[in-house]
Amino acid sequence: MDLRMLSRELSLYLEHQVRVGFFGSGVGLSLILGFSVAYACYYLSSIAKKPQLVTGAESFSRFLQDHCPVVTETYYPTVWCWESRGQTLLRPFITSKPPVRYRNEFIKTADGGQILLDWFDNDNSKSYMDASTRPTILLLPGLTGTSKESYILHMIHLSEELGYRCVVFNNRGMAGENLLTPRTYCCANTEDLETVIHHVHSLYPSAPFLAAGVSMGGMLLLNYLGKIGTKTPLKAAATFSVGWNTFACSESLEKPLNWLLFNYYLTTCLQSSVNKHRHMFVKQIDMDHVMKAKSIREFDKRFTSVMFGYQTIDDYYTDASPNHRLKSVGIPVLCLNSVDDVFSPSHAIPIETAKQNPNVALVLTSYGGHIGFLEGIWPRQSTYMDRVFKQFVQAMVEHGHELSNM
């Protein structure tokens, strides 16, 4: 039956049936109920949809359908908050922050710097009591994120349920540690990530080793995988809300409303993060000019691109965009994006490139925003992104060998 016809008929029925006292006919209640029915019909027909699954190999698609079925199930965004910006803004405030006790480790870099790793060892794991073979998940937070982000804490909580160990890679200078050299981080330079991966693998060479990156952390992870191909100790990887084309991301975030809601705030966060270490940069960078930046693009032009030796901001943004390297990824990678993400416009998602690489799977939802993916009436404990993460890492740890046999 046509949904509009159903909505109209139900509204007429309710108006006819409901009566309120001597003076009223229940029209107000009928309108409310009628609107609710109409909204429910609209939601079920236009909002709640199955994600688009794009893979470069039929074998990878079958593997995900068998062992990670969430990527083929209908995603029901929170009924009162399904719009992109609402999902993006609410997620940090509405989702819970599971308690996690970290073990801190500082490791040295080739240039004399230091990186802070936050470990969740999961020594109480009943599924993998032998620490040497306990699966290890490396987690990479977003642009200004650390191990304290709610999405990182949720991933650790889910990994704990599976019996896995986690380690969070905090970008230089972001987790309260001092900078020992005049260098921070960017998603185009993978040297620090390579150092971390080599270090973690050297500690547990017999343990299954996976990685998951969120937003800029996912961009960094994909750029690393695209550079190194199959020569990585990682068994598989997952990314969430990646910005595929940095030019398109920047252009979208500079639209007036997006600039007001996201761009300016993130710019101030970046400025604050580098201003704490201002004395380390004054010899090579005009920090007063950096602190006057009004957008991420201006910050990158005045600070990031200069720090990492790029001639122009365009050179940096070209090198930072993972869409160019997706074709060279040599291990199974699942990438979850929402097509309404204002941080990563849908037209920049490399669907055709993904179809040409048998190791790549794109999972594209119609709604979800940027690292949102809220679902349920009150989405405090879990998100769609959480479920994708849990099912995928479990599938790769327990059944990953099937892919090599397909």
The catalytic site residues sit at 215, 341, 370
Cα distance between residue 406 and residue 403, in whole Å: 5
Cα distance between residue 18 and residue 11, in whole Å: 11
C-beta atoms surrounding 269 within 10 Å: 14
H or E element at residue 238: strand 236-240
Question: Which residues, other chains included, contact 90 with Cβ-Cβ below 8 Å and sequence gap of 6+?
Answer: 81, 372, 374
Structure tokens at 379: 């989405």
Structure tokens at 396: 């790769």
Cα distance between residue 340 and residue 296, in whole Å: 20
Distances in Å between the Cα of 321 and the Cα atoms of 46, 156, 217, 257, 312 are 32, 28, 12, 24, 15
C-beta atoms surrounding 12 within 10 Å: 12
Task: Give the Cα-Cα-Cα angle 41, 44, 47 (nearest 5 degrees).
Answer: 115
